[in-house]
Amino acid sequence: MDKYIYAFGSGTAEGDGTMKDTLGGKGAGLAEMSRAGVPVPPGFTIATQVCNLYFENGNTTPPAIQEEMERQLTKLEETMGQKLGDTDNPLLVSVRSGAKFSMPGMMDTILNLGLNDETTKVLANKSGNPRFAYDCYRRFIQMFGNVVLAIDKDDFEHLLEDLKKQRKAKLDTDLTVEDLKLLTQQFKGVVQQKTGKDFPQNARQQLDMARDAVFRSWHNPRARHYRRMNEIADDLGTGVNVQTMVFGNLGDTSATGVGFTRNPATGEKVFYGEFLINAQGEDVVAGIRTPRPISELQELMPEAFDELRKITTNLENHYRDVQDFEFTIQDRKLYMLQTRNGKRTGPAAVRIAVEMVEEGLISKQEAVLRVDPAQLDQLLHPVLEAKSKASLNRLTVGLPASPGASVGRIVFTADEAVKQAARAPVVLVRAETTPDDIHGMEVARGILTSRGGMTSHAAVVARGMGTPCVAGAGEINVDTRAKRLQCRTTTLKDGDWISLDGSTGDVFEGQAATIDPDPSGSHLASFMSWVDEFRTVGVRTNAEVPRDAKTARKFGAEGIGLCRTEHMFFAGERIEHMRAMILADNETDRRKALEKLLPMQRKDFRDLFEVMDGYPVIIRTLDPPLHEFLPKREDLMVEIAAMKASNESRGIKAREELLVRVEELHEFNPMLGHRGCRLGITFPEITEMQAQAIFEAAVQCAREGIRVIPEIMIPLVGNVRELENQKRIVVETADKVFTQAGMKVDYMVGTMIEVPRSALTADQIAREAEFFSIGTNDLTQTTFGFSRDDSGGFIQEYQKRNIIDQDPFAVIDRDGVGSLIKTALRKGRETRPDLEIGICGEHGGDPKSVEFCVHAGLDYVSASPYRVPIAKLAAAQAAISRGKEELMRTA
C-alpha cells in the first residue's frame, strides 16, 4: 500500500529533506530538522499527492487515507500524552499548507485547532492564564471561520473593533478575559448566522475540515495566479502539515522570535534576529510591541540561547546556506518551528556566497548560483532608504525602467534640466522623451515619463547612462507648458522635490534619503571572477559614446554588440548638418551635408575603437526614420496656424517650406516605415559616408597600434537582396579606403535579425551575412504586432487579466519570438556553420532571456553597460544549469 502520511518530531522522522515532491518544502524541512535532532514540535505531514486524490475523489479525502491519518493521529497523541478534544489534556495543533515550491502568503494557516468551549476552559486552567486561553479561542474561531468556512474576515474584525470602541481599548491586549469570552460568543454567532450551522465543537471534525480546506486553497485564485506567474505546475498539489501547538505566551519563561544565521542586509557573519518574551509568533511582526535584539536572549535564558545558537549553526552547515528561522520557547523549552534559506539583499547575497566559499561550505559553482542576477543592481546603484520611503506620499507606480534611486527637483524640459542641474539635483519629467532631450537626460539624476514602455526611448537611454528611470507612469499627466504635473488629486510644479525608485517603479512626492551602494567591491570582484570562469557565452555592451563604453569595459564587457550611430547625430551642430542632409532634394546637396558629418563620425568611431582595443565593435548603419531629426509636424502646424491667426508673416514662409518636407516624411507607423536599411538603399550615400568614416577610423587606429575589429551591421533586413545592396556599398567603400591608405583591416558585414521575415529566410540571408545580431526589441514588436511605444497601457492590462505573464519587451517570449530566433539560428548556420550570432535587444540584460540565449546556442549577448554584470551572471548560471542537464542526459 502507498504511504501518504509521514510523522516527524522527537528526534526522528519518516520522511527527509529530499522529499519535497511528496512532503512539500515545509514538510521536508520539518522532517529533516527532526532527523537532525532539532527540537521540533511533533506532528505529521499529509503528502502532496493526497491533494490531487482529494480533487479526483469529488472533493473528499479517500477513506484509506482517512484511516492512515487516524493511525498517525493516535501515534501523535500517544507521543504527546494528549488527545485531540480531550477535556483533561487536550492536544492543540496547527494546520498549515506546504507545496513543493514556496508560495509565500498564497495559502492558508490555522492555529490552535482543537479548541472548543470545553478545551478552552481546560487550557485556561492548566496555563493559569484564562486571558491567553480565550484569546487563542477567538483567534481560532476567526481563522477557522475565514479559511474553512469562507466567512469574510471583516465580519469578525468589525465586532472586535466595535468592542474595543465600547471599552475604549486601544490595543487588543487592553481587553479583559470577560471581553474575550464575549467575543468568542459573538464570533460563534457570526458562524451560525453565515453558515446556518453551529461552530464545530468536535475537534476531530475540525481537523478534517481544516485539512480539506487547505487542499481547496490550492486552487484559490490567488494561488493559481501565483503559480502562473512563477511557472509552477497546477498539478503539484500541496501537502498539509499537522503539528502540535507550542506557546510562547505562557508567561515570562516563554518567548518567541525569528532570526538569521547571518545579517541578511549586509551579509556579515553575525547571529541576527529578535524576540519577545511572553508572546506568540505573530506579535513579533505585528509591530505593537517592540521586539528585542536576539543578543539579549543570552542574558535572559542562556541555555535556550546557547541551544538556539548551536542548532541554527548546525542548520546552516547542514543546508549550506543562511537560515531564516522561527522559534518558540515554551516554559524554557526551545522549539524550532521553521527554518528555511534566508532571503537577502544583493550585497549580502554576494558577500555570503563569497565567504561561504572561503569557509569551504560551498563550491564556486554553487556560489555563482546563489545570487539572483537582478540583485546585482543593488551593488551598482543607490537605493531609497526604507524608512524615508515609508514617510513619503507614494504618488503612483510606473514601469521600473532603469534601476536605482533618484531624488531631485522637478524640471519639465531638457533645457531647464541643464539650467537647473548646476544648482540642485533635477529629475526630468516628460510625457515621453525624444532624442532631442539627450542633453537634459545627461544631467538629470532621474527620468520620469508618463508614456512608453520598458524599451521606450527614455528607458533605453537611461539604462545606457545608468540613470534611474520610471517610465510609462500613466496616472501622471504632464503639462509642459504650464510646468506642472497632475497625478490623481496631487499637483506638483517645477522645482518641487520628487523621488523615484527605478528598480520598482515607485514615485514619491518629496525628498527621500538614499543609501549609496557599498563602495568596497572586493567581494564583488571575487564573485565576478568566478562568474567569468563558468560563463560560456560572450557578453558585449550596447554603447555609442566613449563614456558608456568605458563603463561597460569596467564591468567586463567583451566588445560592443550594438553602436547605434543615429545617437551620434543629435548633439550640437551635427543635428544641423543632419537636417540639411534630410532637407536636400538632390544627391549633390545631400553629399555636401554628409561630407560635413564625415569627420565627426570618423572621430566617434576612432574613440570607440580606442576604448574597445582588441574587442569587436558592431556598428549599425543609420536606422531611425529621418523625420526623427526634424521638428515635430504638429508643432510646426500649430506654430504656423498661430502665426496666421495673429497675422504674423515674418518667417512663416520658411516654416511652411519646412512643413512641406516634414509632411513628405510623415508616416502613420514610422516603426514600419522608411527606416533601417530602407534608408541606406534609397540614399546609398548615407551608407557610403558611414562606411568611409568607419574604415578611415579603423585604418587610423590600426596605424597607432590599436587592435580594431569592426563589424558593420545593416539594420532591418528582411530580404537577402537588401543586404546584398548595402554590403556592396560597404565593401566598395572599404576597398577604396584601403587602397588609399595602402593597408587593410579585417572586418565583417552582417545584419540584424529583427523582422520575422529575416528569421524565416535566414538561410538566404546568411549567404551574404557574416554575422547575425538578433534585434529582439523590433522582433518582439513585429512578432506580436505590439508597438513598444504604445503598448505600455494594454500590456499592464494584459498582465492584470492574466493574458500574458510577463512583458515581452522585458523577458523574451519563448513560444513566439523564441521560436523565430531558433529558426534564424538553425537556418543561418545551415548556410554558414561558423556564423557569429548574438543578441542586442534590451533582453540581453534580462536574466531569463539570457538563459534562453545560452540554451539556444547564441555566441554572445549584448546589454547596456550597467546590465553587463547581470548578463554575465545570468549567462554563467545558465551554463552551469545546462551543464548539469547534459550531465543528467549522458549519465
Determine if 798 is a binding residue for its own copies (CB under 8 A): yes
Determine if 472 is a binding residue for its own copies (CB under 8 A): no
In the complex with its own copies, the residue whose CB is nearer, 62 or 816, is 816
Alpha-carbon distances of 1 from 22, 65, 271, rounded to whole Å: 16, 11, 46
In the complex with its own copies, the residue whose CB is nearer, 118 or 639, is 639
Q: 198: which 3 cell numbers?
A: 453551529
Which residues does residue 434 pair with via DSSP β-bridges, in sequence order? none
Interface size with its own copies, residues (CB under 8 A) = 61
Determine if 760 is a binding residue for its own copies (CB under 8 A): yes
Position among 60, 313, 393, 802 found at the interface with its own copies (CB under 8 A): 802
Q: Tell me whether residue 840 is one of the annotated catalytic residues.
A: yes
In the complex with its own copies, the residue whose CB is nearer, 182 or 671, is 671
Residue range at the interface with its own copies (CB under 8 A); choices 272-280, 380-388, 795-803, 845-853: 795-803
Which helix (H) or strand (E) is 287 found in, with range?
A: none
Position among 86, 212, 613, 790 found at the interface with its own copies (CB under 8 A): 790
In the complex with its own copies, the residue whose CB is nearer, 18 or 819, is 819
C-alpha–C-alpha distance, residues 782 and 761, integer Å: 15
Of 491, 510, 490, residue with least CA distance to 499: 510
Q: How far is the CB of 722 from its own copies (least distance, A)?
A: 6
Catalytic one of 457, 567, 577, 843: 457
Q: Are 123 and 114 in contact (CB under 8 A)?
A: no
Q: Are 354 and 526 in contact (CB under 8 A)?
A: yes
CB contact set of 293 (below 8 Å; sequence gap of 6+): 273, 274
In the complex with its own copies, the residue whose CB is nearer, 71 or 632, is 632
Q: How far is the CB of 48 from its own copies (least distance, A)?
A: 27
Sheet holding 405-411, edge to edge: 393-397, 506-509, 497-501, 405-411, 426-430, 446-449, 469-471, 399-402
Determine if 764 is a binding residue for its own copies (CB under 8 A): yes
Determine if 672 is a binding residue for its own copies (CB under 8 A): yes
Determine if 674 is a binding residue for its own copies (CB under 8 A): yes
Q: How far is the CB of 781 from its own copies (least distance, A)?
A: 6
User: Which residues ranging from 812 to 831 are in contact with its own copies (CB under 8 A)?
Assistant: 813, 815-817, 819-820
Determine if 652 is a binding residue for its own copies (CB under 8 A): no
In the complex with its own copies, the residue whose CB is nearer, 645 or 891, is 645
Determine if 673 is a binding residue for its own copies (CB under 8 A): yes
In the complex with its own copies, the residue whose CB is nearer, 142 or 725, is 725
C-alpha–C-alpha distance, residues 159 and 793, integer Å: 41
C-alpha–C-alpha distance, residues 828 and 772, integer Å: 8
Which helix (H) or strand (E) is 243 found in, with range?
A: strand 238-244
Q: How far is the CB of 124 from its own copies (least distance, A)?
A: 54
Determine if 173 is a binding residue for its own copies (CB under 8 A): no
Catalytic one of 469, 677, 701, 840: 840
Site string for its own copies, 675-714 (x = CB under 8 A): -x-x--xx--------------------------------
Determine if 748 is a binding residue for its own copies (CB under 8 A): no
Residue range at the interface with its own copies (CB under 8 A); choices 260-268, 331-339, 808-816, 831-839: 808-816
Determine if 794 is a binding residue for its own copies (CB under 8 A): yes
Site string for its own copies, 618-647 (x = CB under 8 A): ---------------xx--xxx-xxxxxx-
Q: How far is the CB of 780 from its own copies (least distance, A)?
A: 9
Determine if 668 is a binding residue for its own copies (CB under 8 A): yes
Determine if 755 is a binding residue for its own copies (CB under 8 A): yes
Residue range at the interface with its own copies (CB under 8 A); choices 34-42, 381-389, 601-609, 754-762: 754-762
Amino acid of residue 581: M
Residue range at the interface with its own copies (CB under 8 A); choices 370-378, 413-421, 498-506, 748-756: 748-756
C-alpha–C-alpha distance, residues 465 and 681, integer Å: 32
Q: How far is the CB of 676 from its own copies (least distance, A)?
A: 8
C-alpha–C-alpha distance, residues 763 and 765, integer Å: 6
C-alpha angle 228-232-238 in degrees, rounded to nearest 5: 115
Determine if 270 is a binding residue for its own copies (CB under 8 A): no
In the complex with its own copies, the residue whose CB is nearer, 588 or 646, is 646
CB contact set of 568 (below 8 Å; sequence gap of 6+): 544, 574, 600, 601, 604
Q: 483: which 3 cell numbers?
A: 510646468
Of 401, 469, 535, residue with least CA distance to 846: 401
Q: How far is the CB of 777 from its own copies (least distance, A)?
A: 12
Q: 199: which 3 cell numbers?
A: 461552530
Q: How far is the CB of 435 from its own copies (least distance, A)?
A: 14
SS3 202: coil
CB contact set of 607 (below 8 Å; sequence gap of 6+): 546
Q: How far is the CB of 436 from its own copies (least distance, A)?
A: 15
Residue range at the interface with its own copies (CB under 8 A); choices 87-95, 100-108, 753-761, 766-774: 753-761
What is the per-residue burial (b if ≥16 Cβ within 10 Å, else e) of 699-721?
bbbbeeebebbbbbbbbbbbebe
In the complex with its own copies, the residue whose CB is nearer, 90 or 676, is 676
C-alpha–C-alpha distance, residues 345 and 349, integer Å: 6
C-alpha–C-alpha distance, residues 608 and 122, integer Å: 80
Residue range at the interface with its own copies (CB under 8 A); choices 265-273, 317-325, 752-760, 872-880: 752-760
Determine if 226 is a binding residue for its own copies (CB under 8 A): no
Determine if 205 is a binding residue for its own copies (CB under 8 A): no
Q: What is the largest CA-CA distance in the chain?
A: 104
Q: Are 871 and 539 in contact (CB under 8 A)?
A: yes
In the complex with its own copies, the residue whose CB is nearer, 490 or 764, is 764
Place of cell 524615508: 388
SS3 560: strand
Q: Where are the alpha helices (DSSP H) in 704-719?
A: none
Q: How far is the CB of 708 from its own copies (least distance, A)?
A: 31
SS3 623: coil
Q: How far is the CB of 666 from its own copies (least distance, A)?
A: 9
Cα separation of the two ends of the chain? 31
Determine if 37 is a binding residue for its own copies (CB under 8 A): no
Determine if 455 is a binding residue for its own copies (CB under 8 A): no
Q: How far is the CB of 672 from its own copies (least distance, A)?
A: 4
Q: Tell me whether residue 219 is one of the annotated catalytic residues.
A: no
E strand residue ranges, 342-472? 383-384, 393-397, 399-402, 405-411, 426-430, 446-449, 469-471
C-alpha–C-alpha distance, residues 775 and 121, integer Å: 71
Q: Are 96 and 214 in contact (CB under 8 A)?
A: yes
Determine if 661 is a binding residue for its own copies (CB under 8 A): no
C-alpha–C-alpha distance, residues 495 and 412, integer Å: 10
Determine if 197 is a binding residue for its own copies (CB under 8 A): no
Output the DSSP codes for 504-521.
TTEEEES---EEPPP---
C-alpha–C-alpha distance, residues 267 and 269, integer Å: 6
Q: Are 862 and 840 in contact (CB under 8 A)?
A: yes
Determine if 797 is a binding residue for its own copies (CB under 8 A): yes
Q: How far is the CB of 581 from its own copies (least distance, A)?
A: 18
Position among 6, 140, 569, 786 found at the interface with its own copies (CB under 8 A): 786
Determine if 761 is a binding residue for its own copies (CB under 8 A): yes
Sheet holding 292-293, edge to edge: 292-293, 272-277, 255-260, 323-330, 333-341
Q: Which residues of the shown chain bind its own copies in the complex (CB under 8 A)?
A: 633-634, 637-639, 641-646, 667-674, 676, 678, 681-682, 716, 718-719, 721-722, 725, 754-757, 760-761, 764, 778, 781-787, 789-791, 793-794, 797-798, 801-804, 813, 815-817, 819-820
Q: Which residues are catalytic?
A: 457, 840
